[in-house]
Structure 1
Amino acid sequence: MENLASERGRGVLVVAVMLVVASVGVVGATVQENEGHSTVSVLTEGEDGEWVGNDYPTQLALGESQQFVVNVENHEQQPTAYTVVVVEQVFDFVDGERVLTEQRELDQFEGELAHEETWTYTHAISPTIAGEDVRIVWLLYLDDEVPSEPSTANAAYHVHLWFEIIE
């Protein structure tokens, strides 16, 4: 009797393990199929002259150019056309919350990448609005679908940096 109970217990354990393995296989297959994505990052020139993803300036002078590099990586599983829209945004505090009060487009550029290809684009930004809470945003759109009013809400991906723009 003990052997029969022990064998049943092993049988239940084997079935449970098989179900877990099967469900992990299905989840893994689903993740693999829907894994397409892109990445966008901003680089700036470091002290040693190399492009780095840190040590960004915190102040920019109104109207003066500052060079940045946008780095886009295509992991969409297919060739993809990209448009980057660079905007400056000004925020005020209203009832303790940061509220967007003004936005201006600074630049726009396009590139097309094959799957697993990387695009690095150097450009200069010249801020047009002075203030303490100015955000520069790089909005990434796929397949040239840029809306008439670009924003973080309608971009596929975005990255931003905060600056104080001094006169």
Structure 2
Amino acid sequence: MANGFQGRCAPKPLPAAEILSSYFSYDPLTGIIVWKPQAGKNQRWNTQFAGQEAGCIAPNGYKQIRLNGEGLRYHRVAWALLHRDCPTDVWIDHANGDPLDNRASNLRLASRSENARNAKRRDGCRLPRGVKRHHRGVKFEAQIRTSPGKRIFLGLFDTPDAAHIAYRAAAIKYHGEFARFD
């Protein structure tokens, strides 16, 4: 696809920043978005919601805000409020890997592969990132993915820790600021 996303991975376009800023205010130091009072809403709504943090934690672990029946990703709304725009052709990455930390200093633009490099590992992984047991079962293999479909073999090692050291060096070289080691 022209915008770099495939299938369901593409983020939905947000309402214009002017519309979002009429509903919400964003504190870039805390990462919190709060509802603004609404002139067209009844007093009960303003009493209950105005000044309160918007959104809730969705099952996927990210915060989400419902606006006019539409689910919006909290970090994308934060980006739009901060920068007055939220591009749909790139990802908004949480630099520290915490999807609940929406401070401006923790949000950055990323490609799909950069965002994936910074993803946390699934539970149940016993070996360090970038390490797997070699098919003969005695040594440990280190490898790194540098682009979709391209892996670089980094060597065979006697211990998982030695293999992980090789992975860490390669991750810094190939992934830069998006390198993640845990």
Normalised by the length of structure 1, the TM-score is 0.26
Structure ranking higher on relative contact order (CA contacts 8 Å, 6+ apart): 1
Normalised by the length of structure 2, the TM-score is 0.24
